[in-house]
Amino acid sequence: MDTVDKATRSRIMASVRRRDTGPEILLRHSLHRLGFRYRLNCRNLPGSPDIVFPRLRTVIFVHGCFWHAHGCRETTVPSTRNRFWREKFRANKKRDKRKSGLLLAAGWRVLVVWECALKGRNMVRFDRVISFTAKWLKSKEKFRELANRSN
């Protein structure tokens, strides 16, 4: 059962950010300090990737574990309207896979950085996340996901 009324829950959910989340900003600023230059949320690309490196034809999605149903310990399914949430998460995962596929087919490289890699009890040390990401950006690998240590 929900602990707040419907109007409060609606306001809380509406305030959840689509872009410029804490983990995303942390990653962006660190990559910028290393000399990487990028664009943000390019709407002309499938899925409006969070970080786009046009010269490298590479994109990074910073996915929230809850909204994208990662499956790690940070992922939960609300007990109210359970069927609605399960369907929403299924549709989100299907959309994410389709958008990544479209990007890959168009010659873009895709990195998905999961929120649990950047925060939480089992997060990866941040210097390792940055060094991994920087190394991956310079590689030829087409697709990769970075999650916490327990995944």
Residue 61 is part of a domain; what is its CATH number?
A: 3.40.960.10
Query: 27: which 2 tokens?
Result: 């990653």
Q: Is 4 a domain residue?
A: no
Stretch 32-59: mean pLDDT: 93
Residues, the chain, total?
Answer: 151
The pLDDT confidence band at residue 40, using thresholds 50, 70 and 90, is very high
Residue 36 inside a domain? The answer is yes
The count of domains in the chain is 1
Cβ-Cβ contacts under 8 Å for 117 (sequence gap 6 or more): 123, 124, 129, 146, 147, 148
pTM for the model stands at 0.82
Q: What is the pLDDT of residue 119?
A: 79
Q: What average pLDDT does this structure show over 75-80?
A: 80
Q: Is the pLDDT of residue 13 over 60?
A: no
What percentage of the chain reaches a pLDDT higher than 90? 51
Task: Determine the pLDDT at residue 127.
Answer: 85
> What residue numbers bound the domain in which 35 lies?
18-146
- Residue 134 in any domain: the answer is yes
